[in-house]
Structure 1
């Protein structure tokens, strides 16, 4: 069986990595490499009105903005090449051959300014960030049915009553989609490992964001982007570390954009077509604003100072 492109892209980062449309904005997504700031952003004014907001959606949006898109779409085949370069599984020559198969001349691609630059510029930092962001967001989107379905050729016999007298019923070839249980057995452990790595790294980022209370939503998002870019190699290593071993999986729901399954290790992966919830031993590990059972509230400068006088009762 030929391993599907997205499965390959996911599995690429579960091996040794020591060397290494929904909520994102396309312009930001085309620039996956973000240089770490030399100084932290200034905090919002002390007079700003703050609200406590969960860190998870802020971090999630930041990681989506780091995910590359190609012609406005995610491309599993291209990202399998990027992740292959990160791991050292693919050579530049092999990637150039892949581009040629798409009628793209690698010599004419710019080193920067084009999403495909990731495939030719040799920038391991940008490639690592792109690969990590792509994997992290892969479990927060509806799964591609091509990951676990296969096309099977079947032959249907025409009804005997419609055949001419003395003639054999005409056989009509057709293709149907069937569940590929072998491919699914590869997908589920990786989905679980990626979701667990998300919980680990997102919680680490959230704990750091809490150290700087009073920033605006935009400032927290930028901080989260910077932290994820620096932690990208650690994230890929974390995916490998979180790969389940000897775990039996039972699929609860599959289809219609949903993927729900439970593992014999107490895990419960629930993507309902819109949102991801990961339970671990009856604790909400990821989802609904929580990470590893905690909400990680951030004190966000949500309203400017002009709102402050409106909150004070009028004197009579």
Structure 2
């Protein structure tokens, strides 16, 4: 669908509520002079990655697919219970926390949404797992007597890869929007520490998790959109879309371009730099001014 669709109701309300926030106490000019201006993107992005590790450290694709379907209402609890049984478990014996299947049975909708959303967002913030895209090997002919057959070389299932590109693009576009929204709110709270900004980012992402998943759905490109893979290896994954988009992931992270504008990456969100005023070692920083000039 068109990425210019209106924001979902939750995001609109969140934007409106930013004007109703509690105003932080003004810091002294001397304290403000010691704040560091730090790009917001790595802080927000790192917070989402941390949230995945907190709520879904196993990152099991099959379990997360069930969890996302359950959170969004695509399946009912009995379907999740049947899945657990297929995996050799018993839904009635699963503890509420600490088990691979806990989020599938504990009814904690808020955490189900946030774990799913963080997992989805993180799926384009990590290197492409080529092992998941390897085509199944054909049955090899037996070799010479006494020798093990040599397996054929692994090949990427390009049909499967191409089918995944619309979803990857939609996720990256939704990431850019939500990260920019969080960064905007964080800018209204200057003088916090790295840890405080990271925790706030986590809490804001959790609050907006259902809206984020809806935006991913709304960003799904039209079926007529064509994609072309430019590079695919362990160091770089790049593709372009006929909707004027470029998606690239390498050692430096994700970079998304929309109509030639950096939509996410290189420290930018929606084509703009977002900086936070961070209180770095605030107590120690006061002592620096006491060091005499040589």
1:259 equivalent in alignment to 2:259: no
Change (3 A) 1:40 1:130: farther
- Alignment correspondent of 1:84: 69
Any conservation in 2 of the 1:147–1:184 contact (CA below 8 Å)? no
Match among 267, 277, 280 for residue 258 of structure 2: 280
For the 8 Å contact 2:84–2:101, the answer to whether it is kept is no
Query: Higher strand fraction: Structure 1 or Structure 2?
Result: 1
Q: Distance in 2 between matches of 1:294 and 1:130?
A: 28
Q: Which residue of 1 aligns with 2:118?
A: 133
Q: Deviations over 1:90-131 (max 9, x none)?
A: 222222222223322221212234453201012221111111
Q: 1:107 to 1:288 in 2, by over 3 A?
A: same
Does structure 1 residue 58 correspond to structure 2 residue 43? yes
1:166 aligned residue: none
Residue 256 of structure 1: CA displacement? 1.3
* Equivalent residue for 1:293, pick from 253, 271, 282: 271
Partner of 1:227: 204
Query: Is residue 189 from structure 1 mapped to residue 174 from structure 2 by the alignment?
Result: no
Q: How does 1:46-125 map to 2 (within 5 A)?
A: 46=28, 48=31, 49-68=34-53, 72-114=57-99, 116-125=101-110
Q: Deviations over 1:11-52 (max 9, x none)?
A: xxxxxx99xxxxxxxxxxxxxxxxxxxx97977975542100
Does structure 2 conserve the Cα–Cα contact (< 8 Å) formed by 1:69 and 1:75?
Answer: no
Is the 2:40–2:274 Cα contact (8 Å) retained in structure 1?
A: yes
Asked whether 1:249 is paired with 2:227, we answer yes
Matched, 1:207 2:192: no
SS in 1 for 2:237: strand
Q: Return closer, same or farther for 1:102/1:68 CA change in 2, 3 Å cut-off.
A: farther
Instruction: Give the conservation status (yes or no) of the 8 Å contact 2:193–2:278.
Output: yes
Unaligned segments of structure 2, at least 5 residues: 1-7, 10-20
Match of 2:134 in 1: 149
Give the distance between the partners of 1:78 and 1:43, measured in 2 at CA.
45
Count of aligned residue pairs for this structure pair: 271
Relative to the length of structure 1, the TM-score reads 0.76
Offset of 1:251 from its aligned partner?
0.3
Instruction: Give the direction of change, closer, same or farther, for the CA distance of 1:123–1:204 in structure 2 (3 Å limit).
Output: same
Deviation at 1:174, TM superposition (A): 4.3
In the alignment, is the contact (CA less than 8 A) between 1:54 and 1:298 conserved in 2? Answer: yes
Residues in 2 aligned to 1:179 and 1:249: alpha-carbon distance in whole angstroms: 17
Note the aligned Cα RMSD (angstroms). 3.1
Match of 2:154 in 1: 177
User: SS state of the match for residue 142, structure 1?
Assistant: coil
Counterparts of 2:126 and 2:215, CA distance in 1 = 20
Alpha-carbon distance in 2 for matches of 1:109, 1:74: 18
CA contact (8 A) 2:245 2:258 kept: yes
